[in-house]
Homo-oligomer: A and B are copies of this chain.
């Protein structure tokens, strides 16, 4: 199977297949006499595995570990689970960060009239965060 077919079958672009080979995530495949990469079903399975893991947000390094566990028939499922739990925690951290951004911005946007007048709490907050009730006379833009 050529790289184009393998890409189609696995859902990993040919570009990325070459990249994964380059960084040693996958083994170097066999080559035809002309130098074309040839992929077996098993290799396409590996690529699909990688794609699904990426879809779950695993980093390439995490996938490297997952692949090692996958190939190790005598692995302990606790090792896999630990990796997954760690990743879930990472995801939740990022979710919390994004959520805090969205909430903060949502709060500011809610207090913004959104009309044709210039007054805008969003810009004011960026210019200087609100401290208590008083608006300190700071945060004027330059060249204004």
Which of the four size classes fits the interface of chain A?
35 or more
Q: Is the interface of A mostly helix, strand, loop or mixed?
A: helix
In this assembly, does A74 line the interface, its C-beta being within 8 Å of a C-beta of chain B?
A: yes
Tell me how far the C-beta of A42 lies from the nearest C-beta in chain B, rounded to whole angstroms.
4
Contact between A109 and B125, CB atoms less than 8 A apart: no
Which positions 98-144 of chain A face chain B at CB distance < 8 Å? 98-99, 101-102, 104-106, 108-109, 112-120, 122-123, 125-129, 138-144
Query: Which residues on B sit within 8 Å (CB–CB) of A104?
Result: 56
Q: Are A142 and B40 neighbours in the complex by a CB distance under 8 Å? A: yes
Give A100 Cβ to nearest chain B Cβ, in Å. 9
- Kindly report how many copies of this chain are found in the complex they form together: 2
Residue A53, interface by CB 8 Å: yes
A102: B residues at CB distance < 8 A: 88, 91-92, 95
Bound: A125/B102 CA distance, A: 32
Interface residues, chain A, with chain B CB atoms under 8 Å away: 27, 40, 42-43, 45-46, 48-49, 52-53, 55-57, 66-67, 69-78, 80-82, 84-85, 87-88, 91-92, 94-95, 98-99, 101-102, 104-106, 108-109, 112-120, 122-123, 125-129, 138-144
